[in-house]
Amino acid sequence: MNSRISSALPVVILILLGGFIFTLGIADNYTNIDEPYFTDPVVNYLNGNGYTTTSWRITGPTETHVSTAPAHSLALLLWLKLFGFSQAAVRSLSAALALGSALVFWRACRRAGLIHSAPAGIIVISLVLLDHGYAFSYSVGRPDALSALLAAALFYFSTLANQRLALGLMGALAVLLPFVQWGLVMYLAVLSAALWLIDRKRTWKYILVVGAGMALGLLIQRVVYGQFGVWETWLNSVRSERLDNVAKMISSRPAWSTFLNRHSNTMPKDFSALVILAGMAFLYVRSRRRRRPEGVLLARSAWIIVVTVTLGMFFIGKFPTYYGWMLMLPLAAILGHGFDRFRSAGGGEARLIVGITLLAGGVGLPLEVIVASHDWNDRQPAAITAWLGPKIGPDDVVYCDYPFYYVAKPRAKQVFTSFYFNRMSPEEYHRLTLVIISQYRSYWKPERYALTNALETGRWQPARAGWLGNSFQYGILSPPNYGCTVYRLKAPNKP
């Protein structure tokens, strides 16, 4: 009986963390800029306006949109059909997929023989779900959780006893990956390099099959997108998220100003991974002094993966904080494996791993919630919706900065937001009746379209500033909360 209870403990932790995520986790951040980007074309399609968007820099209301994560968009379409359109519904899909990724990855670690005990399973699940970067990603409805789930599924398939079946399933899944998220393909390419360095004898077949599958998937994607006339659109979307010139990329990205001003879109600021790396460095030194080769191997493997993945992603495209799951999946497996090895061998290394886990998990989602508690009410949509909602009528054509998308979209006739401003034609500007400008970071540029023919009808000022400020350049612990000025444009509205 005790054995059954013990084996069920990881599931209990998964359920408890799920409760934490679905209550506080998906509510601790105000609307993120990526939410309108991934949500808007889906909502337009459900409303009968085609798969189009007015929140993106590449496509507009008369062009078929091509998401950089089309599989997530399809899943979101089905999800919103079931649960309706709301910020909570959008975010809950990513949260559910994140829980699924942790579950599948834990089972894969068990089947692979990396972990055996319930405490090791708890370590794996807790690190994956509480990781600072991954928690931010799924809590604001980004598509990374689906990528993490499929990466975990690839690992699970690799553990099947029938190697032909395992390779067949992995190859078939790999064909689909280019349609999931372009960053996932890049990640698996650089992770393969790290695994090759660590243990090429065991991994080369799997690396070869997954690589061939992804290559075939990219070819199919090229044919399909070309057939529907959206290949160039997709390429432009991908290019818009990275620097095209490699020399410029290398020379500009390491700059300190880049590290701050580009927020987390180029260089990662994942506190959880940093804690683990520091812990692994300590374990390496300790193991060398005590002549314990298993500790040296463990720490070296962690550092090889982190350095290879980080540098690979950084120079291929980008490595933002919300890609934190790319590091945390292998790091969680390494720590869980190390715990079981060290616990059976004795010594203080197992306790060290428990300490690393507690600290790495603590500076993830729990820290995000603690920081958000300082100005919690100003991060919640209820108050701003009650104030701003009545100002938007069903005939209004609205430009709003992205924090107010979920307020404006279900109420207005049409909504333009954020990135689309630079695409907005004079005719579209002429049709605007309401403009909602964020007081922290606005994409509206007065030098392009001046608000000279506008009447200020309201200003929302948050009661409290964030504990660490409200400037994204200092990372995702200091995001802006809701603050805006509302302008009613008088007729005729001329550019």
pLDDT of 367 over the 60 cut: yes
**Cα–Cα distance for residue pair 373/42, rounded to 1 Å:** 32
Residue-wise pLDDT for 456-477, tens only, equals: 999 999 888 888 877 766 667 7
pLDDT of residue 200: 84
pLDDT of 45 over the 60 cut: yes
Q: Are residues 301 and 175 in the same domain?
A: yes
**Cα–Cα distance for residue pair 106/361, rounded to 1 Å:** 16
Share of the chain above pLDDT 70, in %: 91
- How confident is the model over 280-304, as a mean pLDDT? 91
- Decide if 45 is inside a domain: no
Q: Are residues 306 and 418 in the same domain?
A: no
pLDDT of residue 469: 78
pLDDT of 134 over the 80 cut: yes
Number of domains in the chain: 2
Q: Are residues 143 and 268 in the same domain?
A: yes
Residue-wise pLDDT for 321-334, tens only, equals: 899 999 999 999 99
| Range of the structural domain that residue 425 is part of | 379-489
Q: Are residues 243 and 322 in the same domain?
A: yes
Reported confidence tier of residue 313, pLDDT bands at 50, 70, 90: confident
- How confident is the model over 96-101, as a mean pLDDT? 98
pLDDT of residue 481: 81
pLDDT of residue 260: 46
- Decide if 494 is inside a domain: no
Q: Which of 344, 373, 402 is the last residue of a domain?
A: 373
- Decide if 414 is inside a domain: yes
- Weakest-pLDDT range from 34-38, 80-84, 135-139, 474-478: 474-478
pLDDT of residue 244: 42
Q: Which of 325, 352, 373 is the last residue of a domain?
A: 373
- How confident is the model over 354-359, as a mean pLDDT? 96
pLDDT of residue 14: 97
Nearest Cα to Cα of residue 191 among 235, 161, 151: 151
- Decide if 48 is inside a domain: no
Q: Are residues 367 and 387 in the same domain?
A: no
CA 169, 173, 176 angle in degrees (round to 5)?
155
- How confident is the model over 8-22, as a mean pLDDT? 96
Residue-wise pLDDT for 248-279, tens only, equals: 544 554 444 544 444 445 555 789 999 999 99
Q: Are residues 242 and 281 in the same domain?
A: yes
Single pTM value for the model: 0.92
Share of the chain above pLDDT 90, in %: 69
pLDDT of residue 473: 61
- Identify the top-confidence range among 42-51, 288-297, 461-470: 42-51
Residue of 451 and 149 predicted with greater confidence: 149
**Which pair of structure tokens corresponds to residue 67?**
């998401």
- Decide if 301 is inside a domain: yes
Q: Are residues 78 and 13 in the same domain?
A: yes
- Decide if 89 is inside a domain: yes
Exposed (0-12), middle (13-18) or buried (19+): which is 447, by Cβ within 10 Å? Answer: exposed
pLDDT of residue 333: 97
250 neighbors 311 (Cβ within 8 angstroms) = no
**Cα–Cα distance for residue pair 225/138, rounded to 1 Å:** 28
Q: Are residues 413 and 310 in the same domain?
A: no
Q: Are residues 276 and 408 in the same domain?
A: no
pLDDT of residue 494: 52
pLDDT of 414 over the 50 cut: yes
Q: Which of 373, 400, 434 is the last residue of a domain?
A: 373
- Weakest-pLDDT range from 103-117, 149-163, 198-212: 198-212
Q: Are residues 151 and 277 in the same domain?
A: yes
pLDDT of residue 401: 95
Q: Are residues 327 and 365 in the same domain?
A: yes
- Decide if 307 is inside a domain: yes
pLDDT of 215 over the 90 cut: yes
Reported confidence tier of residue 243, pLDDT bands at 50, 70, 90: very low
- Decide if 146 is inside a domain: yes
Q: Are residues 168 and 293 in the same domain?
A: yes
pLDDT of residue 259: 46
To the nearest whole number, what is the mean pLDDT of the chain? 89
